[in-house]
Chain A
Amino acid sequence: MFHRDAGALKTSYGEEQAIFPVALDRWAVVALMAVGALVVPFVAGPYWLGSILLPCLILSLAAIGLNILTGYAGQLSLGSGAFMAVGAYAAVNLVIRLPWLPFPVSFVLAGMVAGAVGLAFGLLSLRIRGFYVAVATLAAQFFIEWICTHIPWLVLNTPSGVVSTPTLFLFGFGFSSVPSRYLVAFVTVVALAFVAKNLIRSSAGRALMAVRDHETAAELTGVDTTRAKLTAFAVSGFYCGVAGALWAFLYLGNVEIEAFSLHRSFQILFMVIIGGLGSILGSFLGAAFIVLLPVAIANAATLFGEALKPDVLANLELMIFGALIVAFLIIEPSGLARLAVKAKDRLRRWPLPY
């Protein structure tokens, strides 16, 4: 009833192939974009905007990157944190060393550097499969961490190895306030999410899924698996790289390797698994889940502040977080994206479910 896709007749191939073929979906997405860009920055306070929504958005982008590689192309990666680091270090070098470049160009170039590094480690996936690829990306994680801490040139020769990021300027406007930083992240993430969605719907995207589902079968039906896998690594590297640049410039305000450790790689992998493998929407939901849940638990816990000892509280937070993840995966193994699909289904059949 609320969600109607019946009777939406298409009269051209163009309509049939549109990114959101159902009018209601299309309008819902447009409305969401409008609210996100025009309402949220003015309504949400700086705490919500700068400490909750901003990290959520940026990590969603990294999750999309990993989802392309792991969810769509089936190559398990533990190196997303490292690819974010490549993007962040490349971006800070480009922005500081080449100040005349507009920052969107620097960020795209930084993403491309990360994509190239991703491609290089992707070469390994041509020879090895499954968990062995995961180990190769783990090597990427350690290797890149080492490079970033041992070449002083990369950190502009600062003794501590931590580079503070300058404010981003575009046409004389400085993006230092919280809403402006949020908007930069929002526009970037939305644009790249659309690109990803379209990539997945193209023949390149179908090639990725063919490789994931059965590599030999894909090869036999004429899919260039080498090309598909390398595409996945390069695109994934690009997305993670841009996310890393945004994380450093818009959220942390500095570039330091500890922000891109193995911990980060796992965090992104959890986002993808909990959000839903092979779903762009799932990347957003997963990022929201992982970022919001600890904060929500901590906030809820303050209600019992007097009754519970703080040391119990701190550990309780971890336990509840872990328990909820396990609970969700038992109840819905396909991730949060599957919940969204189910919800849509229920809305379609309401009020006469069968």
Chain B
Amino acid sequence: MPQCFSSRRRKSVAPACLLAFVATLGFAVPAAAQTAAPAATGGAAMEQFVPIAIYRTGPYAPGGSGIYGAYADYLALVNARDGGVNGVKLVYEECETGYQPDRMIECYERQKAKGPTGAAAFTPSGTGGVYALIDRMTADKIPSVTIGYGRTDSSDGRVFPYFFPLISNYWSENTATIRYIAEREGGLEKLKGKKIANVVMDFAAGRETQAILDAQAKRYGFEVTTFPITPPGLDQRAVWLQVRQYRPDWVLFRGWGAATPTGIKEAARAGIARDRIIGWWWSGSEEDVTPAGDAAKGFITAQFHATGPNYPVFEDIKKYVYAKGQGNVEENRIGSVYYVRGVLHGVAVTEAMRTAMKKFGNRPLTGDEVRWGLEHLVMTSERIKQLGLEGLMPEIKVTCADHEGDGAIRFQQWDGAKWVMISDWIKSDQSMVRPLIEASAAQFAKEKGITPRDCAGETN
């Protein structure tokens, strides 16, 4: 590159030099920094590396920055307040995915081996990433923690040992929602003859609840009709006019990103009562309803956690993290929906580490050891209270076979300024969900030639 710096014939050399410069800066320097890092911190450091795949850019940035920024905040809190998990300091690093599955793979591969024991767990940050990483993470024995998204049938831990779609999945949410509707109607037998419109974004996560909804319609005798919205769902007028013609008693709405406020506004214009529309949890953030203005008043969504800034854990985060200027998102988002989800990711990973340390000792853990911790993760109400999360999350108990943890769902309603919790925790109907999950997982096992684990031997 010496010619890059001579003034003669600069014009013809410049682009090549620019390219060479970028390439050098991009690859050579970090490589050098990486090799130097372990020497500086000493060989067997009491450090656990936690990769954070995040999407702060692109159309879904409000979700990505909130969730994974809060995840980082919680890890920072554990470091600052408790000195890490049982003395093991958490080292974390962000990797931007832009919500693109191929970038999620790249992030995973870049980060999986960092730190003395490799990544504790990885949060693929998108369902597309989860699907793409199944083979890789199973081979590398690194657990995937996804809360509120992920591959639904990976709740069957016998087939998916390294995948943890914790607290709830879309099928469980669906049965809890039907139970909630029954509660409002005055009992499951009152569902008979009711008409439910299922308005879904036409992507994988939206379509996959069709089977469970049909099964419930058959059992309880209600009628369900699906109205698909083409992503990104910025023009929904025709759909909501059809919904009105159908005259449903209840509307289930699975919007995502800008499609949610658009849908709410169109529903208002079509004269559909918003307090009869129940969104899933990806329609249930402040960012989803604020753009719809007054039209969103009364809109209900399912939620696997509570929201609001007044929980002890958030006080701690403000005191130990934000007061020192180390926060990862805007401080006024603390306690918002996405923020809570990120904190729950942090809680799940750190508590799983704590559980695993009881068996393996207080030291940095490998991915497989954290997987053991996740499979034995029990969040009792006492523990939830200790962590300052009382009321914020349901109790869960994860087992080798059940990677969901038998969580529960709450319902919230937008009052025009904030979400108000309008129900207690409602359990999902696992008698309906579990057979579908097991059938789907068995199908996957057959296609991939996987022999499901025998969970009887995994009790310790």
> What residues of chain A lie closer than 8 Å to B14, measured between beta carbons?
331
Q: Mark A328-354, 1 if CB is under 8 A from B, else 0.
A: 100110001001001100100000010
Chain A positions 49 through 61: 1 when the CB is less than 8 Å from some CB of chain B, otherwise 0 = 0111001000000
Q: How many residues of B contact A (CB 8 A)?
A: 60
Nearest residue (CB) in B for A166 is B447
Is A23 located at the chain interface by the 8 A CB criterion?
no
Q: In whole Å, how far is B67's beta carbon from the nearest beta carbon of chain A?
A: 13
Nearest chain A CB to B102's CB is how many angstroms away?
A: 6
Give B333-387 interface residues, CB cut-off 8 Å to A: none
Shortest Cβ distance from A337 into chain B, in angstroms? Answer: 12
- Pick from B22, B106, B207, B208: contact of A52, CB below 8 A: B106
| A311/B22 in contact, CB under 8 A | no
If A302-B30, A339-B16 touch, does A315 touch B131 (CB 8 Å cutoff)?
no
Interface majority SS on B: helix, strand, loop or mixed? helix
Contact B57 A315 (CB under 8 A): yes
* A251 touching B128 in the complex, CB below 8 Å, given contacts A159-B208, A296-B26, A303-B29: no
Of B94, B102, B110, B444, the residue contacting A259 (CB under 8 A) is B102
Which single member of A51, A96, A292, A327 contacts B447 (CB below 8 Å)? A96
**Pick the contact of B56 from A50, A159, A258, A315 — CB < 8 Å?**
A315
Asked whether, in the complex, the Cβ of A160 is within 8 Å of the Cβ of B96, the reply is: no
- Which chain A residues numbered 25 to 75 have a C-beta less than 8 Å away from chain B? 46-47, 50-52, 55
A315: chain B residues within 8 A (beta carbon): 56-57
- For window 284-309 of A, CB contacts with B under 8 Å fall at 292-300, 302-303, 305
Give the docked Cα–Cα distance between A146 and B231 (Å): 11
Closest Cβ of chain B: how far from A267's Cβ, in Å? 10
User: Which residues of B have CB within 8 Å of A296?
Assistant: 22-23, 25-27
A164 within 8 A of B: yes
Say whether B33 faces chain A, with CB atoms less than 8 Å apart.
yes
Pair B26/A160 contact, Cβ less than 8 Å: no
Residue A318 lies at the interface, judged by CB distance under 8 Å to chain B? yes
Are A311 and B329 in contact, with the CB atoms below 8 A? yes
Contacts of A102 in B (CB 8 A): none
Q: Are A160 and B101 in contact (CB under 8 A)?
A: no
**Measured between alpha carbons, how far is A299 from B447 in the docked complex, in Å?**
37
The residues of B that contact A254 with a CB separation of less than 8 Å are: 131-132, 134
A303 touches B33 (CB 8 A): yes
| B135 at the A interface (CB under 8 A) | yes
Task: Using known A-B contacts A256-B204, A296-B22, A299-B30, determine if residue A162 contacts B109 with beta carbons closer than 8 Å.
Answer: no
Binary flags per residue of B388-429, CB closer than 8 Å to A gives 1, else 0: 000000000000000000000000000000000000000000
Cβ contacts B445-460/A at 8 Å (1 or 0 each): 0011100000000000
Are A303 and B328 in touch, CB under 8 angstroms?
Answer: no
A68 to B109, CA, bound (A): 33
B268 at the interface (CB under 8 A from A): no
Is B16 within 8 A of A300, CB to CB?
no
Q: Known A159-B210, A160-B204, A256-B128; judge A302-B54 contact (CB<8 A).
A: no
Given contacts A166-B447, A314-B96, contact A258 B203 (CB under 8 A): yes
A317 — which chain B residues lie within 8 A by C-beta? 57, 96
Q: Does A161 contact B (CB under 8 A)?
A: yes
A130 interface residue, CB < 8 Å from B?
A: no
B166 to chain A, nearest CB (A): 19
Complex interface: chain A residues within 8 A of B29 (CB): 300, 303
Q: What residue in chain B is nearest A248 (Cβ atoms)?
A: B132
Which chain A residue shows the least CB distance to B26? A296
Task: Identify which of residues 248-282 in chain A touch chain B, using a CB-to-CB cut-off of 8 Å.
Answer: 251-254, 256, 258-259, 263
Report the minimum CB–CB distance from A60 to chain B (whole Å). 14
Q: Say yes or no: B202 contacts A258, CB within 8 Å.
A: no
A164 to B244, CA, bound (A): 38
The answer for the CA separation of A331 and B432 in the assembled complex, in Å, is 63
Interface check B79, CB cutoff 8 A: no
Return chain A residues, CB-CB under 8 Å to B102. Answer: 55, 251-252, 259
Asked whether, in the complex, the Cβ of A295 is within 8 Å of the Cβ of B109, the reply is no
A residues 221-262 near B (Cβ < 8 Å) are 251-254, 256, 258-259
Question: B105 to A324, Cβ gap below 8 A?
Answer: no
Chain A contacts for B444, CB-based, 8 A: 164
| Distance A110 CA – B101 CA, assembled complex (angstroms) | 23
Bound together, the chains give a CA A115 to CA B207 distance in angstroms of 30
> Which residues of the other chain, A, contact B230 by a CB distance below 8 angstroms?
146
Q: Given the complex, which residues of A lie within 8 Å of B273, measured CB to CB? A: none
Q: Which residues of A contact B23 (CB under 8 A)?
A: 292, 296
Contacts of B449 in A (CB 8 A): 166
- How distant is B425 from chain A, measured CB to nearest CB, in Å? 27
A91-108 residues with Cβ-Cβ distance < 8 A to B are 96
Q: A328 to B110, alpha carbons, bound, how many Å? A: 28
A188 in the interface, Cβ–Cβ < 8 Å?
Answer: no
**Closest B residue to A320 using CB positions:** B22
Considering the complex, give the chain A residue whose CB is closest to the CB of B207: A161
Chain B nearest Cβ from A6, distance in angstroms: 22
| B324 vs chain A, min Cβ distance (A) | 14
Residues of B within 8 A of A346 (CB): 12
Contacts of B27 in A (CB 8 A): 296, 299
Expressed in whole angstroms, the minimum distance between the Cβ of B9 and any Cβ of chain A is 8
Q: B234 contacts which chain A residues (CB < 8 A)?
A: none
Which residues of A (120-165) have their CB < 8 Å from a CB of B? 146, 149, 158-162, 164
Q: Is B211 an interface residue (CB 8 A)?
A: yes
Could you tell me if A166 and B132 are in contact, using CB atoms closer than 8 angstroms? no
Most A-side CB within 10 Å, residue of B25, B72, B106:
B106
Whether A149 lies near B128 (C-beta < 8 A) is no
Residues of B within 8 A of A176 (CB): 135
Chain A residue at smallest Cβ distance from B152: A160
User: Is B15 in contact with A314, judged by CB distance below 8 angstroms?
Assistant: no
Residue pairs across A and B with Cβ atoms less than 8 A apart, 17 shown, are: A47-B109, A47-B113, A51-B109, A52-B106, A159-B211, A160-B208, A161-B204, A253-B132, A258-B101, A292-B26, A298-B95, A299-B26, A310-B72, A311-B65, A314-B96, A317-B96, A339-B15
Name the 10 nearest CB pairs between A and B, nearest first. Answer: A296-B26, A314-B56, A51-B109, A160-B208, A299-B30, A160-B204, A331-B15, A314-B96, A254-B131, A51-B106
| Other contacts beyond A159-B211, A162-B131, A253-B135: 15, CB < 8 A | A51-B106, A159-B208, A166-B447, A166-B448, A252-B101, A252-B132, A258-B203, A293-B22, A295-B110, A299-B30, A305-B93, A311-B69, A315-B57, A331-B15, A339-B19
Task: Give the interface of A toward B (CB within 8 A).
Answer: 46-47, 50-52, 55, 96, 146, 149, 158-162, 164, 166, 176, 251-254, 256, 258-259, 263, 292-300, 302-303, 305, 310-311, 313-315, 317-318, 324, 327-328, 331-332, 336, 339, 342-343, 346, 353
